[in-house]
């Protein structure tokens, strides 16, 4: 396991002063499909020279399968998931199956990493470093697991990463278990790894955390890692509607 020191682990960016303007969007509880469409619109804008964005939100209960997702890693039928108040979505991100729901902080950085000379591996390492730093801020010693993206605590995954990079711009991102209902993960084989457990910040600290405080720390950590100047846009209704 490796720990981040707070300094950017992305060599090409660590000495660049903050200055790449990036819009911070925090729309709150957002249906998965709505967030996916929002990402796609922003990504097209970024490819055309528009401002990058960081979207931090929560989803209603949903199970998502990435491009390598195997249906056998869903342990219930579609009807059984619906009966439990959850939907199932196939997506174009990397990775296998995971769960998103209230109490989990989901982050979608939409960044032109090719313009920065940054490759996929370095980008994922940067996400991991930011997550590890945030967890350290809340007193949780997290690290990496060899060959398994995400953030881990004593062999259990606390944050999952699944990204897509198309024409040099990132979509999808990470999911950090803050106050997540961990029982939801018993209905899948998380990330296709039956041997790995799942944990949360609430389980490790013994108390419910303030989601807004975790969001703030996450935004700051990503700004450090990727040399961003975050500017929050609170006019989310028009953005969400594609106007």
pLDDT exceeds 70 at position 110: yes
Q: How many domains does the chain have?
A: 1
For the domain that residue 207 is a member of, what is the CATH number? 3.30.930.10
Find residue 99's DSSP bridge partners. Answer: 63
Contact status, residue 162 vs residue 90, Cβ threshold 8 Å: no
CA dist 68 → 25, 71, 125 (Å): 29, 10, 20
The verdict on residue 11 lying in a domain is no
State the burial class of residue 49 (Cβ atoms within 10 Å of its Cβ: 0-12, 13-18, 19+). Answer: exposed
Tokens of 111: 């960044």
Please give the average per-residue pLDDT across 10-27, as a whole number. Answer: 71
Q: What is the pLDDT of residue 193?
A: 75
Output the pTM of the full model: 0.89
| 3, part of any domain | no
Which strands form 87-90's sheet, in the order they lie side by side?
Answer: 87-90, 62-65, 97-100
Q: What is the pLDDT of residues 162-174, one digit of tens each?
A: 999 999 999 999 9
Break the chain down into helix, strand, coil percent, rounded to 5: 30, 30, 40
The string of pLDDT tens digits covering residues 184-199 is 999 988 877 777 799 9
| Mean pLDDT along residues 35-58 | 97
Residue identified by tokens 């990504």 is 43
Annotated catalytic residue within 10, 113, 191, 221: 191
pLDDT of residue 143: 96
95 is a domain residue: yes
Rounded mean pLDDT of 213-220?
Answer: 98
Percent of the chain with pLDDT over 90: 76
Distance (Å, rounded) from C-alpha 192 to C-alpha 181? 19
51-84 pLDDT per residue, tens:
999 999 999 999 999 888 788 899 999 999 999 9
Residue 242 class from Cβ within 10 Å (0-12 exposed, 13-18 middle, 19+ buried)? exposed
Helix, strand or coil for residue 87? strand
Q: Tell me if 242 is assigned to some domain.
A: no
Q: Is the pLDDT of residue 1 over 90?
A: no
- Any domain includes 94: yes
Quote the CA–CA distance of 45 and 134 in Å, as a whole number: 29
Q: For residue 115, give the 3-state DSSP assignment.
A: coil
The two beta strands, 148-153 and 156-166, are: antiparallel
Distances from the Cα of 202 to the Cα of 59, 109, 180, angstroms? 18, 24, 8
120-162 pLDDT, tens per residue? 999 999 999 999 999 999 999 999 998 889 999 999 999 999 9
The reply to whether 168 falls in a domain is yes
Res. 234: pLDDT tops 90: no
Give the pLDDT confidence score for residue 18 in this predicted structure: 52
For residues 150 and 13, the model is more confident at 150
**Is residue 182 within 8 Å of residue 140, measured between CB atoms?**
no
pLDDT score for 14 = 52
Active site residue 191: yes
174: containing domain: 20-234
In a domain, 243, yes or no: no
**Considering the domain boundaries, does residue 8 fall inside one?**
no
């Amino acid at each position: 396991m490796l720990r981040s020191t707070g300094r950017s682990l992305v060599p090409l960016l660590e000495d660049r002063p903050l200055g790449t303007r990036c819009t911070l969007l925090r729309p709150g509880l957002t249906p998965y499909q709505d967030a996916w469409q929002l990402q796609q619109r922003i990504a097209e804008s970024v490819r055309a020279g528009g401002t990058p964005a960081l979207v931090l939100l929560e989803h209603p209960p949903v199970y998502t399968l990435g491009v390598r997702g195997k249906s056998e890693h869903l342990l219930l039928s579609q009807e059984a998931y619906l009966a439990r108040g959850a939907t199932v979505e196939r997506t174009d991100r990397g990775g296998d199956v995971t769960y998103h729901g209230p109490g989990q902080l989901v982050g979608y950085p939409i960044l032109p990493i090719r313009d920065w000379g940054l490759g996929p591996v370095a980008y994922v390492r940067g996400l991991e470093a930011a997550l590890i730093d945030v967890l350290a801020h809340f007193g949780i010693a997290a690290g990496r697991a060899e060959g398994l993206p995400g953030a881990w605590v004593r062999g259990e995954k606390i944050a999952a990463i699944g990204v897509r990079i198309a024409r040099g711009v990132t979509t999808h991102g990470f999911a950090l278990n803050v106050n997540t209902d961990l029982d939801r993960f018993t209905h899948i084989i998380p990330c296709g790894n039956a041997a790995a457990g799942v944990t949360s910040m609430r389980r490790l600290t013994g108390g419910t955390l303030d989601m807004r405080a975790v969001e703030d720390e996450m935004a700051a950590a990503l700004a450090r890692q990727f040399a961003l100047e975050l500017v929050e846009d609170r006019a989310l209704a028009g953005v969400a509607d594609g106007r």
